[in-house]
Amino acid sequence: MQYPKLAKHKQLLGVIIAAVLLTVIFVPFQKANAFTVTTTLPNAVGGAINNSVSGENFQITINVEAGELISIQSITLILDNGLASVKTATFNSAGTRTGGSDTLVIGNQLTISSFTANGGYGYGYGLVSSGYSFTSPYTYAFNNYGYGYIGGNTGGYANAGVTNFVNGLIGPGQITITGKLRTADLDTATPHTLDVLIDTGAGGNNNDQLVAPQLGFNVNANNNLVSVSVNVSANTPVGVTVPSTGDKVSISFGGSASGAVVVEKKTLSAINSQFPGAFTSVGSSTASFNVGSSTANTIGEVFEFDLSATSYSGSVRVTVPYNSALLSSGQSPSIFKWTGSAWEQGTNVSSNSTHVTGTFTSLSPVVAGALTPASSGGGSSSGGGGGGRGPVIISPDGTTPTTEPIPQEGDGSGGGGTGAVQWQTFSLDVEGTSYNIQYNITNGSVEDMMLDIDNRRLVVSVTSTNEDGNLKLRLPREVIDSKSGADGKSGTDQPFTVFLGDGTAATSEEGTPTATIRQISINFPAGTEEIQILGTFAVPEFGGIAAIILALSIVGIIIATARYATRNNRFSSFRGRL
């Protein structure tokens, strides 16, 4: 008779089933996080005469999110794609040129920042292609171009026993690639472009080349950069390092967008000569101007945005730098654009200690500025008659103001008052434990919040209006945080990465943190339904309820094992008596 053996099989089967259930419940499935690749021209001193001296510095930045592995097998640069002056050059993982033009990069060498390499298969989600090919004598097309996964999987990298094995950086982290673009041979009358493709060697679906948004620029007779343009798309903030300054500006479109935006820095006197009467007075570092019936002064440089080569719809959101030393007592940073006949103040204005952001329906010259404080009697911030754009203090503990305000629009229609953020509280449930998340939202409402522990992200579901909005959050560090340490919990604070539901990056600013709270202000376009905040740490996976379930499951396995063992012993005793 085989009953004892059958009992043993049942015992083993019970243990296997319980183990499978525990694996399904407690082993997280890693979903995709986005990675981004950007190209900037910080503008070194130009004047290149031959291939051995100076040119214009450029930098490629790859931001690698937690749980991703990015390898660099080769780097391809394409200069002036679509023009008769087109050039390509390919560089290996050490930054040495292996093919293509030897007059594109000075010294034929790129410098790749050092990082600790780990083995595994490449994994990440972003703008990718499967390579490039000729479509005309001067034009390269990117094959299978669009957003997708490298490595052909959605389950995160693996670091042992896998195919398509590569060595690369496991996020969170950043890789920078720098070089010097030779500008001596470039036509001063023609706008130029630079495309970047990075072969990761990840294998899988063959779409394993990371693609950076195309960068455009112009040079003058001295071979120096005079303006920089970038190709744009809907809801994608694009950063631009403006030539001759090192100042960083960014721009994004709320609706559909295609084409290129050109940005150039202008002096105050140049703007006043180009548009007589734009300023009522011009000094050495600031200028005065009128905004309706109010007066204001500049607190930064003027940046001229040329959208003539851009087709777009919806609003335009722009960020420019400002100098806080130019603010007078009672003033708050804001942003203004010249319409051709008057200065217009941006809407949904926010700022940190160095940059100010605002929304417009079109762009021309844009400048950071500050309204002259109204005289006494200008109205109360909480009443209907006051509420201009004043500094709004985010207080992490609800009582103590921070040292760095995050401004927003006042609630009233009068002038000069200082508004106050009206905070609401959302009770976030994480495995049976509730955490209070304070938030404030304009032009929308918060419908739900969910913490994705596996991917260390907070997902906020919103209903937005037909106008751009802003979401401010006070995030408890015990719920989600972003740190520089390899474990994601130690080291210095790092900025959160923020994406909209469609995978595009969102513009955000962070206020001064405390020991227990991180605070963030996020701008979102009209129609947004979801906002994702990515960190490096989230509430530990095995929280209170999870620990109880795990304990009960283990107890269940023990009881089942003991039960089958007892039955075996009894059956064996019975056979002995027979």
Q: Which H or E run includes 459?
A: strand 457-464
Task: Delimit the domains of the chain by residue range.
Answer: 3-28+542-577, 36-219, 265-371, 424-538
Residue 351 sits at the vertex; the CA angle it makes with 492 and 244, to the nearest 5 degrees, is 85
For the segment 175-186, the average pLDDT, to the nearest whole number, is 83
Q: Where are the alpha helices (DSSP H) in 252-319?
A: 268-274
Q: What is the pLDDT of residues 437-472, one digit of tens each?
A: 999 888 888 888 888 887 788 989 888 887 888 999
Listed in sequence order, the residues at least 6 apart from 383 whose beta carbon sits closer than 8 Å to its beta carbon are 412, 417
Mean pLDDT of 390-396: 29
Cα distances (Å, whole numbers) of residue 346 to 317, 341, 463: 9, 16, 23
Collapsing DSSP to helix, strand or coil, 432 comes out as: coil
- Separation of alpha carbons 336 and 287, rounded Å: 13
One DSSP character per residue, 23-56 reads HHHHSPPP---B-EEEEE---------STTS--E
For the stretch 34-74, pLDDT in tens is: 466 777 765 533 333 333 345 677 888 888 887 788 889 89
Q: What is the pLDDT of residue 511?
A: 83
Percent of the chain surpassing pLDDT 90:
16
Q: Which residues contact 372 (CB under 8 A, 6 or more apart)?
A: 294, 295, 296, 297, 331
Give the pLDDT confidence score for residue 278 in this predicted structure: 93
Pair of tokens at residue 179: 């070089």
- 418 has pLDDT over 50: no
